[in-house]
């Protein structure tokens, strides 16, 4: 599998620093670096094109998709997949009016690309008659909202839109990861739980839409041990632009994430940076020095490469 992702200068810098210890000695023409990430080879070109090649290219690239969304929120993500490139080029930006103008349930998540802060998954229910109200608030362009705007807008609709939300703390995430769960499996399980719970609370819906983070067959393979599985799902890339239920789920997830993030910052008496860049490494080292490395197991995703950087900074 080969996945190509266009990234901005800030993300390029983060990638360059992130893969410092995993770079290959030889670099292809016009490339900033080439590095190994488990079963994936990552090549970053001077043009800002990041290429992920290998069995786990989808998992490796997902982290950087989230970082690019964070670093460049006003620009749409430019990503192609060798296995379905032609199909995506035809449909990825198409908005189906039947879905957009329907009564729907949608789910989305945040926090998967942040070293600090939990993973938050939300499922939201939007009635057809509430669409004009949500559009007026700007929910349709949810990915273009700053965190400050999200904190302002979400309280204006959160009592109108029925939703279910779950928070996976980093302590819980680390326990699950240690027992063999990868990020996408955890996301699939949490999405399914929220969708199942919300679906049982509503009388009618036309569609259930999930912002796609894995191929359909992969998503359901992650749920093979789950007893209650929601199956009548429409998977969409960039679903927050095509279904307001997903857009609401995205905003509520971010709203909850920001509130939880602030609590974690307060608990360590430090203003924690978001993301997984060098500033995060420095702050994590300060926290580890103050409270010990065990503290990171409670508030950070210790499988991220940031943990190794922290250990180096403490030497």
pLDDT band, very low/low/confident/very high, at 1 (cuts 50, 70, 90)? confident
pLDDT band, very low/low/confident/very high, at 86 (cuts 50, 70, 90)? low
Task: Give the pLDDT confidence score for residue 301 in this predicted structure.
Answer: 96
Are 38 and 141 members of one domain?
no
Task: Give the pLDDT confidence score for residue 85 in this predicted structure.
Answer: 55
Q: Find the CATH number of the domain harbouring 37.
A: 3.30.310.10
The number of beta carbons lying within 10 Å of the beta carbon of residue 134 is 23
Are 101 and 83 members of one domain?
no
Are 236 and 118 members of one domain?
yes
Has residue 286 got a pLDDT over 60?
Answer: yes
Task: Give the pLDDT confidence score for residue 158 in this predicted structure.
Answer: 96
Question: Domains in the chain: how many in total?
Answer: 3
**For residues 273 and 282, what is the distance between their CA atoms, to the nearest angstrom?**
10
Has residue 88 got a pLDDT over 80?
Answer: no
Average confidence (pLDDT) over 219-241:
94
Give φ, ψ of 88 to 5 degrees: -65, -35
Are 124 and 250 members of one domain?
yes
Are 75 and 129 members of one domain?
no
pTM of the model: 0.72
Are 208 and 303 members of one domain?
no
Task: Give the pLDDT confidence score for residue 314 in this predicted structure.
Answer: 93
pLDDT band, very low/low/confident/very high, at 83 (cuts 50, 70, 90)? low
Task: Give the pLDDT confidence score for residue 144 in this predicted structure.
Answer: 79
Are 306 and 166 members of one domain?
no
Q: Which domain holds residue 283?
A: 264-314
Has residue 80 got a pLDDT over 70?
Answer: yes
Are 154 and 297 members of one domain?
no
User: What is the tens place of the pLDDT at every residue in 34-75?
Assistant: 999 888 999 999 999 999 998 888 888 989 999 999 999 888
Concatenating the DSSP letter of every residue in the chain gives: -EEEEE--HHHHHHHHHHTGGGB-SS--TTEEEEEEETTEEEEEETTSEEEEEETTHHHHHHHHHHHHHHHSTTS---EEETTTHHHHHHHTT---HHHHTS-EEEEEEE-TT-SBS-EEEEEEEE-GGGHHHHHHHTGGGGGG--HHHHHHHHHHHTTTSEEEEEEE-HHHHHHHHHTT--HHHHHHHHHHHHHHHHHTT-S--SEEEEE-SS-HHHHHHHTTT-SS-----EEETTGGGT-HHHHHHHHHHHHHHHHHHHHHHHHHTS-PPPSSSHHHHHHHHHHHHHH-THHHHHHB-TTSTHHHHHHHHH-
């Amino acid at each position: 599998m080969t996945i190509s992702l266009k990234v901005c200068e800030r993300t390029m810098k983060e990638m360059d620093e992130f893969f410092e210890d995993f770079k290959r000695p030889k670099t292809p023409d016009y490339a900033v670096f080439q590095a190994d990430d488990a079963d994936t080879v990552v090549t970053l070109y001077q043009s800002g094109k990041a290429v992920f090649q290998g069995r786990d290219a989808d998992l490796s690239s997902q982290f950087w998709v989230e970082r690019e969304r964070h670093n460049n929120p006003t620009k749409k993500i430019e990503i192609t997949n060798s296995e379905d490139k032609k199909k995506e080029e035809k449909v990825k930006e198409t908005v189906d009016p039947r879905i957009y103008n329907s009564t729907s349930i949608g789910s989305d998540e945040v926090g998967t690309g942040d070293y600090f802060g939990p993973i938050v998954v939300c499922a939201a229910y939007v009635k057809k008659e509430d669409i004009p109200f949500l559009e007026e608030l700007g929910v349709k362009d949810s990915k273009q909202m700053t965190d400050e705007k999200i904190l302002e807008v979400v309280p204006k609709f959160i009592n109108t839109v029925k939703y279910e939300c779950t928070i996976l703390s980093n302590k819980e995430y680390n326990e699950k990861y240690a027992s063999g769960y990868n990020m996408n499996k955890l996301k699939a399980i949490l999405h399914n739980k929220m969708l199942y719970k919300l679906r049982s609370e509503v009388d009618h819906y036309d569609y259930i839409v999930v912002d796609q983070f894995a191929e359909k067959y992969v998503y359901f393979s992650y749920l093979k041990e789950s007893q209650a599985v929601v199956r009548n799902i429409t998977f969409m890339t960039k679903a927050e632009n095509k279904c307001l239920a997903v857009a609401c789920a995205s905003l509520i997830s971010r709203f909850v994430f920001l509130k939880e993030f602030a609590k974690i910052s307060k608990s360590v008496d430090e203003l924690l940076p978001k993301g997984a860049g060098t500033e995060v490494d420095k702050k994590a080292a300060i926290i580890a020095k103050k409270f010990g490395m065990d503290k990171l197991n409670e508030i950070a995703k210790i499988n991220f490469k940031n943990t190794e950087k922290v250990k180096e900074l403490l030497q």
